[in-house]
Amino acid sequence: MSSLAPNAKSDAKEGMLYVDESSMRTNKVEQVSSLLISIAVMLALAVGALFLLFLLSMSWTRPQEMTLEVERIAGRGENAAGTERDFDPPSVDEVEQLTEPALEQTMQMVNDAIAAIASMDTIMANDAITGDRNGKGDSRPPGPEGEGVDGVHRGERWELKFTARDRKAYAGQLDAFGIELAAIGGGITSIDYATNLAKSPKGRSGTRDQEKRLFFTYVTNNALMQYDKALLQAANVNIKERTVLKFIPKETEDQLALAEKAYYIDKRSKDFRISDIAKTIFECKASKSGKFEWVVIDQRYRNKNPSVK
């Protein structure tokens, strides 16, 4: 009997219901992998929670589209500078005759008018000699004649900079914005233009009274001015003793105005006032898409009170 006991015990261990407890214990590899999985799940939950908070904190309202208002700047045109505004008498066409004077009154009025004209000629001659003037002049600032706010016109306020390595690259930037070169003066009454500057410059002529576009000219001689002259000559435009201009199309002018307004709102105040700006400097740069765009690189503001420094 005693000799069969060990065999019976061995048979019991090899039975179907026998489970080896040592095989159910976790090893170090399983512990490390389960720890890594737990950490990954926790990180995923944390990232998801942060992303949800980011979405909730965002403002989903659509940004307001920036609009442009018609710019009205006061200017005196060709009037003399002054402190007030001279009275402009009505013309003959603006005066309505209400009564018809008698013949005697008409003759007397004619005599008085002749005497007044003679007296006026004497006064004007004396004024021309002595330089004495009683007129107040025109208190509006320099610029095209018109009524509006006290500000600086775009032609004097804006400065355009081009970053071109050579004449061809510069001409490509002009063409990209539809800018035309032109020459005026020199005893020639017409305006002579140059278009299609990058490939094959072509010339055309126009009249001054039909030109309403914004234009710029160089104050000092520089490399870009020499490029302009060379491009005009390539289009067979006479530039001898003439002023070179850049004419800006309305679409490009609106792009510049929007960029100026956005820069003012971002750097100075949300209450946009064009009368505050003395100078806005733009630079033509290539965007990521390869197209050219105008970027404001500097903006200077007016000191309306001369006593404040």
pLDDT band at residue 194, thresholds of 50, 70 and 90? very high
CB 224 within 8 A of CB 202: no
pLDDT band at residue 144, thresholds of 50, 70 and 90? low
Burial string for 170-198 (b: 16+ CB within 10 Å, else e) reads bbebbbebebbbbbbeeeeeebbbbbebb
Angle between helices 223-234 and 167-176 (to 10 degrees): 80
Cα-trace Rg, the chain: 41
Q: pLDDT digits over 19-53, tens only? A: 556 666 667 777 778 888 889 899 999 999 988 88
- Give pLDDT, residue 101: 57
Give the distance, in angstroms, between the CA of residue 111 and the centroid of all CA atoms in the same chain.
61
- Give pLDDT, residue 190: 92
Instruction: Report whether pLDDT(107) > 80.
Output: no
How many CB atoms within 10 Å of residue 259? 17
Burial string for 104-113 (b: 16+ CB within 10 Å, else e) reads eeeeeeeeee
CB 79 within 8 A of CB 138: yes
- Give pLDDT, residue 93: 55
Specify the range with the lowest mean pLDDT, choosing from 62-71, 113-122, 204-213, 284-293: 113-122
Instruction: Report whether pLDDT(151) > 90.
Output: no
Instruction: Report whether pLDDT(177) > 50.
Output: yes
What the block records as the tokens of 4 is 């069969």
Taking residues 280-307, what's their average pLDDT? 85
Specify the range with the lowest mean pLDDT, choosing from 103-112, 137-146, 189-198, 201-210: 137-146
- Bridge partners (DSSP) of residue 205 are 192
- Give pLDDT, residue 208: 85
- Give pLDDT, residue 71: 76
Domain ranges for the chain:
157-301
Q: What is the mean pLDDT of the chain?
A: 77
Of 293, 302, 309, 304, residue with least CA distance to 268: 302
pLDDT band at residue 246, thresholds of 50, 70 and 90? very high
